[in-house]
C-alpha cells in the first residue's frame, strides 16, 4: 500500500493534527493510501536520544533518523509540519516537563566538565535549534502562493499599516568585521577531508573539528565576527536609538543559527546593560545566569542570589536609562531582550514593515524602530523594503504581485549547516581549515570571544537548484533572479557555478538574472507595485527570509504558502507553513478551549502530496483526491471558514469539518470515478445534514479551560478528547470506509 508519512510535531500544529489526521486517513484510504505518523517533536527527539536511561515502555525509535533515510529514497512522501527549533530555555523547559512525567532524563549541563556531562550535552545539542530541517531537506525548496490563496488575498485584503515619509524606522547593521566582511570561500578540487584547527599565539594547536569528508566541487566557506567590533557597533546603536527617540530592537535567528546567534544575542544584552555586567557579571556567571539565554532567564534566577534584589534594581535602572525597548508583550513586561527565540528576524521584520514600520513599545503604543541586524549579509534587503515603503507608501494586497522562491537548502547547504562548525574562540591565534595533506585552505586571525564559523554547500544540490529555477521560470512564465552578491566571497563561487550550469538547460525565452540581494529586492518590489510576479532564487537563509517577508506583505501570513521540496532522489517533502505564533495558540486553547491555528498550509501540502503520489505511482484516485482537495480549499477560503481568533466562533476543529464537507462535495461531483463519487455523495449528504449539530458540538466545549496533559508532550487520550469533541463528525468519518468499501 502507498504511504504518506505525516509528522507528529509540536504546539498548535500538533494539536491540529489530532483533529485533521482522522479526516486525512479516512479520505486517503479510499485511494488505497495509508497515512502513518512519525514523532519528530522536541520531546520525542529528546526521549529517542536517551533510551539507555529510560524504561522499555518509555523508549521510542529515532523517527527523525528514520525519516532522514527515507528522504533519500524515491518512495519518500512526507508531510512535514512546523516543529520547535529549540533555544536553550525551551530545551530546559521540555526536559523539566518530561522529568515531571516520569522520564529519568539528566539535567542539561550548562558547563560540562565530566565525561558524562560532555556526553549528555552532546546528545542534547543534537536537538537544539533547527535539528529537523537539515535532516529531512534532501532537496531544494519551491515555495509560492497558490492561485486560490492569492485570489482570496486580493478579494479579502488584510490590514496594512500606513507609512509616513518622515518615518524614523531603519535597519542598523555592521559595516566591517562581521560575517559578511570576513568571509573567505574555496571550491574543493577533489574528494577528501578537511579539518578545523586553532593555532594559538602560544604555539599550541587545538582541533576544533576533526577531519570530515568533502566532495569535489563543494564550496567551503569560513568567516568570523569579531566581537570587539560587534560590541562597539552595539554601543553606537543603543546611543543612536536613544538620540533618535525610537524603539531599540534586535533581530536574529537564534533557532536556526543555534550556536552563533545566542552568543550575539548575549552581547546585545550586555551592551544594553553595561553597568550591570561591569558590577555583577561575575555573580551572574557564577550562578550560571548567561545573557546568551536572555534577560528573562537572568531575572528568573535572581531570587536564588543573595544580592538578587540589588541586581534586579540595577537592571531596572539600566533599562530606564537606555532607549525604549521594543516589546514582545508590553502588558507582561516581556522585552525584545528577554528570550533569544522570541524575536526571529524572518518573521519579526516583515511584521514590523506591515505595521507602518512600527513595533510595540513599553507603553503599549506603536513606535518607529531601529532594527538591529548585526551581520550585514542580508540586512540590506529589509532596509530596501523600508526605504521603498517610506517613499511610496504601504503595498496594496489587492493589486500587488507575488515573489515566490526557489531556495538552495539541500544537504544542509550554506549557513544553516554551520552548527557543528561554529565556535566561540577561547584564545588568540589563527583558525585554519586544512585539507588531508595539511594544506591550509582558509584561515582567520582571531581573538578570544570571536565567533568563527564554516559551512559547506555541495555541488549536486547547486546543480539541482539551477535546474529547479529554470523549471519554475518556464512553468510560470516569470522572471527568475538569482540573489547573489559578486562582492561576497561565497556568492562569487556560486555565480561561477550558476553560469556553468545554466547552459545545461533550455533557457530560450526566459528572463534569468543575477543580482545582489539589494538590487534584487528593489527589482522585485518595483514589479510588486506594478502587479507583476518574480521568482527569487536564493541561498538557504534568504529562502527563509523571503518566504516570510513577501508572503506576510502579500497574504498577511507565511502559513498560506505552498512549500514543496522535490527531493533529489525522486521523493517528495511537503511543508505546511510557519509555526511562529503556535505558542500563543496553545495558551489560548488551554485557557478557553479555542484553537485558532489555521491548517491551510496542511491542506495545500496534502494536495501536493497526493499529486506527487499519483505522478510517481500512477494512482488515479490519488490524483482525484488532489484535484478535489484543491477545489475544496478554494471554496473553504471563499466561504471564510478559517479559524476565528475569538472564543465562541469557528476554530481549527470547525475549519476541519468544513474542509471535509467541501472536499466530499467536490469528490461527489467529479466524473472520473463513479464509484468514488457515489460513496462520497452519501458522505457529503451526511455532513451537510448534520452541519448545525456538528457546529453545536464543536462550539459547546469552548469558553472553559482545556486539559491536554502537557505542553511539550501532551497526553494522547486527553488531546484526542479535546480536539475531537463532535461525536457526530467522528461517526461520519468512521462510516466512510463501509460506504466506499
- So what's the pLDDT on residue 613? 95
On whether the CB atoms of residues 556 and 549 are closer than 8 A, the answer is: no
User: Per-residue pLDDT averaged across 292-306, rounded?
Assistant: 94
- So what's the pLDDT on residue 317? 96
For the chain, what is the mean pLDDT? Answer: 94
Percentage of the chain lying above the pLDDT 90 cut: 87
What does the block give as the cell for 405? Answer: 522562491
User: Per-residue pLDDT averaged across 101-115, rounded?
Assistant: 93
Q: Which residue has the higher pLDDT, 112 or 434?
A: 434
- So what's the pLDDT on residue 617? 94
- So what's the pLDDT on residue 419? 86
3-state secondary structure 503-535: HHCCCCCCCEEEECHHHHHHHHHHHHHCCCCEE
- Judge whether residue 66 has pLDDT over 80: yes
H runs (alpha helix) in 594-673: 600-617, 620-638, 652-669
User: Per-residue pLDDT averaged across 664-682, rounded?
Assistant: 95
- So what's the pLDDT on residue 1? 63
What does the block give as the cell for 288? Answer: 550560571
pLDDT band for position 316 (cuts 50, 70, 90): very high
- Which is it for the CA torsion 119, 123, 128, 131, positive or negative? positive
- So what's the pLDDT on residue 131? 84
pLDDT band for position 87 (cuts 50, 70, 90): confident
- Judge whether residue 741 has pLDDT over 60: no
- So what's the pLDDT on residue 514? 98
Q: What is the pLDDT of residues 46-63, one digit of tens each?
A: 999 999 999 999 999 999
- So what's the pLDDT on residue 137? 87
- So what's the pLDDT on residue 578? 65
Torsions phi, psi of 403, nearest 5?
-125, 105
Choose among 183, 336, 322: nearest CA to 252. 336
- Judge whether residue 445 has pLDDT over 70: yes
| DSSP letter (8 states) at residue 308 | H
- So what's the pLDDT on residue 579? 63
On whether the CB atoms of residues 606 and 79 are closer than 8 A, the answer is: yes
- So what's the pLDDT on residue 682? 93
Separation CA 97–CA 88 (nearest Å)? 14
Percentage of the chain lying above the pLDDT 70 cut: 99
On whether the CB atoms of residues 621 and 31 are closer than 8 A, the answer is: yes
| DSSP letter (8 states) at residue 450 | -
- So what's the pLDDT on residue 481? 98
Q: Which residue has the higher pLDDT, 186 or 329?
A: 186
Q: What is the pLDDT of residues 382-413, one digit of tens each?
A: 999 999 999 999 999 999 999 999 999 998 88
| DSSP letter (8 states) at residue 75 | T
pLDDT band for position 581 (cuts 50, 70, 90): low
- Judge whether residue 334 has pLDDT over 60: yes
- So what's the pLDDT on residue 702? 97
Separation CA 181–CA 375 (nearest Å)? 9
pLDDT band for position 583 (cuts 50, 70, 90): confident
Collapsing DSSP to helix, strand or coil, 358 comes out as: strand
pLDDT band for position 151 (cuts 50, 70, 90): confident
User: Per-residue pLDDT averaged across 193-221, rounded?
Assistant: 97
Amino acid at each position: 500500500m502507498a504511504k504518506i508519512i505525516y509528522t507528529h510535531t509540536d504546539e498548535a500544529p500538533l494539536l491540529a493534527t489530532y483533529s485533521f489526521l482522522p479526516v486525512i486517513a479516512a479520505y486517503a484510504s479510499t485511494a488505497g493510501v495509508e497515512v502513518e505518523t512519525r514523532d519528530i517533536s522536541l520531546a520525542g527527539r529528546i526521549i529517542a536520544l536517551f533510551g539507555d536511561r529510560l524504561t522499555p515502555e518509555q523508549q521510542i525509535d529515532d523517527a527523525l533518523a528514520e525519516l532522514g533515510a527515507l528522504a533519500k529514497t524515491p518512495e519518500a512522501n512526507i508531510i512535514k509540519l512546523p516543529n520547535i527549533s529549540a533555544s536553550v530555555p525551551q530545551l530546559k523547559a521540555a526536559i523539566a516537563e518530561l522529568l515531571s512525567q516520569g522520564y529519568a532524563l539528566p539535567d542539561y549541563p550548562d558547563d560540562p566538565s565530566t565525561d558524562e556531562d560532555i556526553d549528555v550535552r552532546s546528545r542534547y545539542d543534537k536537538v537544539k535549534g533547527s535539528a529537523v530541517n537539515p535532516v529531512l531537506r534532501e532537496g531544494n525548496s519551491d515555495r509560492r502562493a497558490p492561485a486560490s490563496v492569492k485570489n482570496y488575498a486580493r478579494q479579502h485584503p488584510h490590514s496594512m499599516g500606513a507609512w509616513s515619509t518622515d518615518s524614523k524606522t531603519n535597519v542598523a547593521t555592521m559595516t566591517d568585521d562581521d560575517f559578511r566582511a570576513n568571509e573567505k570561500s574555496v571550491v574543493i578540487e577533489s574528494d577528501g577531508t578537511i579539518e578545523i584547527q586553532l593555532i594559538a599565539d602560544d604555539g599550541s594547536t587545538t582541533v576544533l573539528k576533526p577531519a570530515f569528508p568533502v566532495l569535489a566541487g563543494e564550496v567551503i566557506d569560513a568567516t568570523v565576527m569579531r566581537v570587539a567590533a560587534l560590541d562597539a557597533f552595539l554601543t553606537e546603536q543603543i546611543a543612536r536609538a536613544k538620540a533618535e527617540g525610537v524603539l531599540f530592537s534586535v533581530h536574529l535567528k537564534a533557532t536556526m543559527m543555534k550556536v552563533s546567534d545566542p552568543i550575539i544575542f548575549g552581547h546585545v544584552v550586555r551592551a544594553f546593560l553595561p553597568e550591570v555586567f561591569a558590577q555583577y557579571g561575575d555573580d551572574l556567571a557564577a550562578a550560571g545566569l548567561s545573557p546568551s539565554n536572555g534577560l528573562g532567564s537572568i531575572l528568573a534566577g535572581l531570587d536564588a542570589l543573595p544580592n538578587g534584589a540589588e541586581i534586579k534594581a540595577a537592571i531596572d535602572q539600566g533599562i530606564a536609562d537606555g532607549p525604549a525597548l521594543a516589546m514582545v508583550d508590553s502588558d507582561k513586561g516581556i522585552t525584545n531582550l528577554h528570550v533569544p527565540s522570541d524575536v526571529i528576524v524572518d518573521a519579526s521584520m516583515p511584521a514590523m514593515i506591515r505595521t507602518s514600520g512600527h513595533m510595540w513599545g513599553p507603553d503599549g503604543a506603536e513606535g518607529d524602530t531601529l532594527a538591529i541586524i548585526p551581520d550585514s549579509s542580508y540586512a540590506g534587503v529589509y532596509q530596501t523594503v523600508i526605504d521603498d515603503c517610506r517613499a511610496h507608501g504601504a503595498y496594496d494586497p489587492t493589486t500587488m504581485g507575488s515573489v515566490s522562491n526557489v531556495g538552495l537548502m539541500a544537504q544542509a547547504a550554506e549557513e544553516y549547516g554551520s552548527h557543528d562548525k561554529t565556535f566561540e574562540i577561547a584564545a588568540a591565534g589563527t583558525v585554519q581549515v586544512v585539507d588531508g595533506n595539511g594544506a591550509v585552505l582558509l584561515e582567520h586571525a582571531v581573538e578570544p570571544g570571536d565567533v568563527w564559523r564554516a559551512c559547506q554547500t555541495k555541488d549536486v544540490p547547486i546543480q539541482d537548484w539551477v535546474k529547479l529555477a529554470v523549471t519554475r521560470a518556464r512553468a510560470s512564465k516569470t522572471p527568475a533572479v538569482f540573489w547573489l552578491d559578486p562582492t561576497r566571497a561565497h556568492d562569487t563561487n556560486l555565480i561561477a557555478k550558476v553560469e556553468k550550469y545554466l547552459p545545461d538547460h533550455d533557457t530560450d525565452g526566459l528572463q534569468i538574472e543575477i543580482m545582489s540581494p539589494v538590487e534584487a529586492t528593489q527589482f522585485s518590489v518595483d514589479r510588486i507595485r506594478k502587479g507583476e510576479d518574480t521568482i527569487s532564487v536564493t541561498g538557504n537563509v534568504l529562502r527563509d527570509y523571503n518566504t516570510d517577508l513577501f508572503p506576510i506583505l502579500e497574504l498577511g501570513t507565511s502559513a498560506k504558502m505552498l512549500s514543496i521540496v522535490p527531493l533529489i532522489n525522486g521523493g517528495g517533502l511537503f511543508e505546511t507553513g510557519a509555526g511562529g505564533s503556535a505558542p500563543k495558540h496553545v495558551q489560548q486553547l488551554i485557557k478557553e478551549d479555542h484553537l485558532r491555528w489555521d491548517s491551510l498550509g496542511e491542506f495545500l501540502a496534502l494536495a501536493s502530496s497526493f499529486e506527487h503520489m499519483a505522478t510517481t505511482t500512477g494512482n488515479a484516485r490519488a490524483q482525484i483526491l488532489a484535484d478535489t482537495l484543491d477545489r475544496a480549499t478554494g471554496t473553504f477560503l471563499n466561504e471564510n471558514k478559517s479559524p476565528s481568533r475569538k472564543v465562541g466562533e469557528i476554530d481549527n476543529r470547525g475549519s476541519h469539518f468544513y474542509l471535509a464537507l467541501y472536499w466530499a462535495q467536490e469528490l461527489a461531483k467529479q466524473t472520473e470515478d463513479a464509484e468514488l463519487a457515489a460513496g462520497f455523495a452519501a458522505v457529503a449528504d451526511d455532513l451537510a445534514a448534520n452541519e448545525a449539530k456538528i457546529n453545536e458540538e464543536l462550539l459547546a466545549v469552548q469558553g472553559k479551560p482545556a486539559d491536554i496533559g502537557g505542553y511539550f508532550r501532551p497526553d494522547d487520550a486527553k488531546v484526542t478528547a479535546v480536539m475531537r469533541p463532535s461525536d457526530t463528525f467522528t461517526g461520519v468519518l468512521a462510516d466512510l470506509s463501509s460506504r466506499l468499501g
